[in-house]
Amino acid sequence: MRRVLVLLALPLLLAGCTTVAGGRATPATVVPTTPRVPRPGTGAGPYRSGDCVELPDVTKVSCDRPHEYEVMLSANFAPEVPAAYPPDVKRLARPACHTALPAYLGNPDADASTLEAFTLWPGEQPWGAGERWYACLVTARGGDNKPVKQPGRLAAALAHGLGRFQECRAGEPLKESPVHVVPCGGPHRSEAVPGVLQLGKATDPPIDLNGPLVGKAISHCEQKVIAYLGGRRPGVTSTAILPLPQDWPTGETAAVCWAIADHDVTGPLGHA
């Protein structure tokens, strides 16, 4: 039975930047969370926690073979979900998937990595037949902005820091079109740094981009970038990227901090 795989993008807003200068990088303190990985095989519907999934047919495969997605959790929509198709996945399932990402990966800074959460739900025919499940999947974004096909599991992949999954960009965040994710060990200008700041919950009123949370995020990110660099450094700026108000109810409630060099660098600017 063919199912619909929906890849939900994460639109963000550039909030501001400050210049930092000087210094030598020292290892950042890693504050991982204890991974909260559901017991394998638990959940709802045809895809369960720990399943590995391969495109284009959304087929379950052995995690030992190369695949694009891994199921973090699956559940049923609330009984009162409208029967109309498609369901309002952004509001009804996306918040749970966004919350699952740092818990499953074992690090509150998951939004600073190339590991991203996506949502899968039944196609129109099985939905009409009464299926009401959804699944939260995780994948790694590659340099071509497509999911990376690789063997192995991603559960607890960030428990000891961002490591090889730290997100780096060839240019500046949001100024690239399309986004160009690159390995941090090669030439790049921008690095997402540890210190993702949760600004609230999806059930809170959406962020006011003229309100105090914006200034809080900018100040927070300046300090996180300085800590990441080990001090101030010429030619590097700090930037806070915030969620758009319309995406707040989907669970996009965090500010991500970026260090941006004014020229290409090779290798990480700091330690993640």
Number of domains in the chain: 1
Question: What is d(CA 169, CA 179) in angstroms, rounded to the nearest whole number?
Answer: 8
Q: Is residue 131 part of a domain?
A: yes
pLDDT-based confidence at residue 31 (cuts at 50, 70, 90) = very low
Question: What is d(CA 37, CA 100) in angstroms, rounded to the nearest whole number?
Answer: 9
Q: Is residue 251 part of a domain?
A: yes
Q: Is residue 256 part of a domain?
A: yes
Grouping H, G, I as helix, E, B as strand and the rest as coil, residue 261 is strand
Strand blocks (E) in 122-229: 133-140, 168-169, 181-182, 187-192, 197-198
Indicate whether 216 pLDDT > 60. Answer: yes
pLDDT for 255-269, tens place per residue? 999 999 999 999 999
Residue 13 has φ and ψ, to the nearest 5°, of -125, 130
- pLDDT, mean over the chain: 86
Grouping H, G, I as helix, E, B as strand and the rest as coil, residue 186 is coil
Q: Is residue 85 part of a domain?
A: yes
Q: Is residue 35 part of a domain?
A: yes
Cα 133 from chain centroid (whole Å) = 22
**pTM (two decimals):** 0.85
Q: Is residue 271 part of a domain?
A: no
Percent of the chain with pLDDT over 90: 76
Percent of the chain with pLDDT over 70: 85
**Pairing status of strand 12-20 against strand 236-243:** antiparallel
Q: Is residue 56 part of a domain?
A: yes
pLDDT-based confidence at residue 36 (cuts at 50, 70, 90) = low
- Closest-CA residue to 26 (of 197, 272, 271): 271
User: What is the pLDDT at residue 174?
Assistant: 77
User: What is the pLDDT at residue 34?
Assistant: 56
Q: Is residue 272 part of a domain?
A: no
Indicate whether 212 pLDDT > 90. Answer: yes
Name the residue range of residue 242's domain: 4-266
Amino acid 7 reads L
Residue 154 DSSP symbol: -
Within 8 A by CB and 6+ apart from 85, the residues are 124, 127, 128
Question: What is d(CA 12, CA 61) in angstroms, rounded to the nearest whole number?
Answer: 33
